[in-house]
A = this chain, B = another copy of it.
């Protein structure tokens, strides 16, 4: 008897009719003899609505209370889904993150799972139930307070539960057919990938492909959970995320990701002496600001510019922290640019293929796109460009590497 974890996102359970469609799909897996654990997100835009409500009450709501508020969305979707299964004659029990044993640290709003104690989940499964678990949430080991795992956290709940239950597969249901070589809304010729490695998926997710939360991929890689990203609106195969050795075709590039959710911060004319960069980023980390790309070039006249990207929502907070600090360390100024976008080329094959970055820069140049920052890893090249250039940039890079494949011709 296989254990299957299925995760349904907000669009998949957007209203009571969608909920019934999802219940039909779950019933099918249950009747096929699988032990099914379902992780469910809040319905549609309900989490956004709760955030709006909070903002009407307070400009800076305390994070502990915000987490309690936001977790009510999954409580609604999970119990309704259990009812829909009962109505189909399938026994089902729903559990909050806390009840399901999702133990986290105490960082509200982006807690990390530190342990899973799925005793009640296993007991309910062994009792013949479909088990429904609230995504996105857990309980702090230290404070016993309710925590949330950040946007997309339900993916991590699902993969972590799959690891803890030693499940055969973790199916991530979403409103697209899988992982694409680029966002199909920008590049109509984008092709669905059949399989990507954990490493590639990590880079794609980190660089803005929204289909999976980064931490869920890390969890999958660390515990060898095979993830199947697929659509809840069809029964077609989606994209498998697994170890590198699962890949049969050996493409150099898997895809182009883009991210318009970040801002760029530059600290100008920083005195180039040891400890300055460390002090800068330690201060930001202490305030829980997650910095993404960092670029520092060689100095001239004993001074250098340090640039980095961060979530746009944290930009004002970062400016407030950095301006006095810049004074203190003798830097000239702090500049924040919110109109930027990041475009990334990802592929495990580029490790052994020189010239990938050069080809990418050439394509951007030919398309008239100016590059503001560059950062690379062994399997990724990222550039920051003006936000208004993002579509042109993605299309140019996708085309120059021929990622559309046959699909280009079919759809073209």
- Give chain A's interface residues, CB within 8 Å of chain B: 16, 19-20, 50, 53-54, 56-59, 61-62, 64-66, 68-69, 71-73, 75-76, 78-80, 82-84, 86-87, 92-94, 96, 99, 120, 144
Contact = CB atoms under 8 A, between A and B. Distances in A.
A86 B59 CA distance: 10
Given A62-B82, A93-B64, A94-B65, A57 B99 contact: no
Nearest to A62: B86
A80 B50 CA distance: 9
B61 A86 contact: yes
A58 B86 contact: yes
A61 B19 CA distance: 14
A87 B58 contact: yes
A58 B83 contact: yes
Given A56-B16, A57-B83, A76 B50 contact: yes
Contacts of A64: 93
B83 A16 contact: no
Contacts of A16: 53, 56-57
A93 B94 CA distance: 26
A76 B57 CA distance: 12
Chain A interface main SS type? helix
Given A83-B54, A99-B144, A120-B144, A71 B61 contact: no
Contacts of A65: 79-80, 82-83, 86, 92-94
A68 B94 contact: yes
B83 A62 contact: yes
A325 to B, nearest CB: 27
Nearest to A19: B57
A99 to B, nearest CB: 7
Contacts of A94: 65, 68
A27 to B, nearest CB: 14
A56 B78 CA distance: 15
Contacts of A54: 79-80, 83
A368 B99 CA distance: 59
For A76, A84, A93, the residue with the greatest tally of chain B CB atoms inside 10 Å of its CB is A76
A12 to B, nearest CB: 15
B68 A87 contact: no
B57 A84 contact: yes
Given A16-B53, A93-B64, A144-B99, A59 B87 contact: yes
A78 B83 contact: no
